[in-house]
Amino acid sequence: MNRLLAIRFSEPRNRQMRKELEQKMFERWPQWFNPKGDVRHTRMSFGFQHEDGWFDILWRLSGDLEPLAAEFEQTTGRHLEVLQVKEKFGGLRIHMNLTTDAIRQRLLAAQLESFLTCEVCGHPGQRRECGWIKTLCDLHTGARDREPKELE
Ligand SMILES: [Zn+2]
């Protein structure tokens, strides 16, 4: 492995949404998130494991899930919970304890949207592969490419 690659692979990655944005989500939909829960049951104690740029996607998604979740809970008497929210292969991954076709569809739409949205800033982006896979806009791809070179 050459030096540039070594630096890229070891580059620290910010995998956490800002606390104030997390708090907005927790306060708006407290019924779905249990940030103090046991990690054997929920990973929400780790917070949202992606950068700030996907906040809007999450916010709109959660608003759209409200009626779907209410219908599900009324008919089944079971409680929906979000167990994990993270970045994987450049896209937004959300795990819930239970799901329906309608909910799965909406989660998939959010994931597709994340593949076109810069994870850092929320502007239009695309999936980039350069040691890691991440969905970024041109600006943030450029910023990341420059960092290792400046070290040399
Ligand atoms: Zn960006």
* 3-class secondary structure per residue, the chain: CCHHHHHHHHCCCCCCCCHHHHHHHHHHCCCCCCCCCCCCCCCHHHCCECCHHHHHHHHHHHHHHHHHHHHHHHHHCCCCCEEEEEEECCEEEEEECCCCHHHHHHHHHHHHHHCCECCCCCCECEEEECCCEEEECHHHHHHHHHHHHHHC
Residue range of the domain that includes 45 = 3-151
Could you tell me which residues are beta bridge partners of residue 93? 86
Q: What's the structural domain count of the chain? A: 1
Centre of ligand 1 from the C-alpha of residue 14, in Å:
14
Measured in Å, residue 27 CA sits from the centre of ligand 1 at: 26
- State the distance from the centre of ligand 1 to the C-alpha of 126, rounded, in angstroms: 10
pLDDT band at 133 (very low <50, low <70, confident <90, very high): very high
The CA 120 to ligand 1 mean position distance, Å, reads 5
Paired with 114 in beta bridges are none
Distance CA 58, CA 18 (A): 14
Residue 146 pLDDT: 55
CA distances from 141 to 38, 57, 72, 108, 134 (A): 36, 20, 41, 25, 9
Question: pLDDT band at residue 149, thresholds of 50, 70 and 90?
Answer: very low
Q: Average pLDDT of the chain?
A: 88
pTM above 0.95, yes or no: no
pLDDT at position 44 over 60:
yes
pLDDT at res. 102? 96
pLDDT score recorded for residue 144? 65
CA of 65 to the centre of ligand 1 (A): 26
How high is the pLDDT of residue 132?
A: 83
| CB 53, CB 122: distance < 8 Å | yes
CB-based neighbours (< 5 A) of ligand 1, an ion: 118, 120-121, 123, 137, 140
| 138 CA → ligand 1 middle, Å | 7
Centre of ligand 1 to C-alpha 141, Å, is 8
The rounded Å distance from CA 146 to ligand 1 centre is: 15
